[in-house]
Structure 1
């Protein structure tokens, strides 16, 4: 990096404009790439249903809150997208608080205690619902508030690199190294004899060149008298980025951000199909770590230890992230039936409402899967 910077300085210690322009463009492209990447992750997670596994009678009410309407003024899809975006882009993370009526809200700002041996609390909480904010006069604990934070060491390392490069570029600009003054080329014959205007004594070529430089840089100068054979021409030393430079820089930045976020390049550029393995890699390496963070937070906040030990869970369901063509996948769905999936299980996989019939909840197994089951388990020949 520093060898590269050294090459960009000219012999007078001046930094070429190209470097400043490049870093400004790289910073802008990095922000754009991060916004694109986080939007893709947030869009994917926001379309996933949240399943509540519990024998408690409030489980259905909780599912409605998490999947349909978290609070009176927001819908679940947009709510969870905004949660993911804020937890990924804000260094403070995204705080979600639960009110006494069961509704949940995103916090616009808050103050977190610095407790170590005891659960931390959150005060001065300002919640957001749509475009409105409201300050709550209460203190939240880990039982009714969960702080979601995105931890990505690769991304932090990349952003730190960008910040270091920007610091070099902008500090150089602030110190005046980035010169906007015009530069000139002076050509004179070797046998020219020049005399000082004051002493009338001969002066050297370097002394005469310095005199012309001062004249050219003077604010008062309007006309310069040149001798026969003397040629003075302006040099435009400013370097600017071309369209091809920007494209190459964009590809570099987008690729680095995609790698840092765990997003396959083809997904980042939107060049994949439903059958592509890149979609599975995107879910596994980019979305799953954030989904696990959300799962841990919801279970740790909204379930007690006793409820968790008895098997209660709140989980984001990633089974149906990709579109399922029921005609094309009919044979595969049929195999699920033979492996113990009920009709309602299949409907849930497809995002359809269940059927309130006993047969829709019945589980069937082919004989090779039904070995060891009681005689009441329905099976079939294969």
Structure 2
């Protein structure tokens, strides 16, 4: 396998979601030659599924539309000009005799790197669709699995099915747009965070435990939804304008889990320094799990910093434990001058 020294990167980040983008920025602060490999044709990862949603819980950032947060993270990720490769899903990983990892994509390209940072998030996600006969005929009209334009729901009766964070967040987003919001959940208890659930219950009509049993409509428009009580089987029919189904996603990590990585029920296992059981391979974001794991975007940033620091020390045990803060980091001297003078 022919390769040049210039083909070898210090760190290759697999996945371009929030963890991967911040890791690319921080590895630049550590003067590491960096590559990002993203299976899709754009950065953003799972955040791309809810571009209109307001994000409140990133430190020091005012409530911001997710698409704007993605744009900001992408600009930050490119600060030190990492190589970014799109449309390549990693199919194989080997380690050469000189301790260089060789990543091979499904398209046949080879990527050479001294360390690997896995930021695969939720993997190649596939939405869990409504398993009801004939539901697919409404997908081009008023049956939705994600929301890209909130104004569509202005002054309408909107039924949302689901009990997780996304379903509850969409319900809360609808408060200032929809005429009525009805939330249907198959269990009594919601799995979303407590505060958003309380906010939702303050204005929405919550029907639990119920599930969508049947859709009725003329042509390709749903007009009525039949919901079934999951305990006693009672059926109610509700006239609606729009239906949003938020039942989660099937996760597919492709070949990544065939490398011999230790894993638990929810993610690949890492230690508190984001090291996997394979030396030279690290993890960050939703792809990993450890005892104090925080599944927030803010938590992904923390993971990324710890993982990059560990990768740097793996390459150079004499290196400082972390990069200097940005105000003292030599890599920012010229950039700061340009900003101040501009």
TM-score range, shorter chain: under 0.3
Larger radius of gyration: 1
Looking at secondary structure, tell me which structure has more helix per residue: 1
Q: Normalising by structure 2, report the TM-score.
A: 0.21
Q: Normalising by structure 1, report the TM-score.
A: 0.19
Looking at secondary structure, tell me which structure has more strand per residue: 2
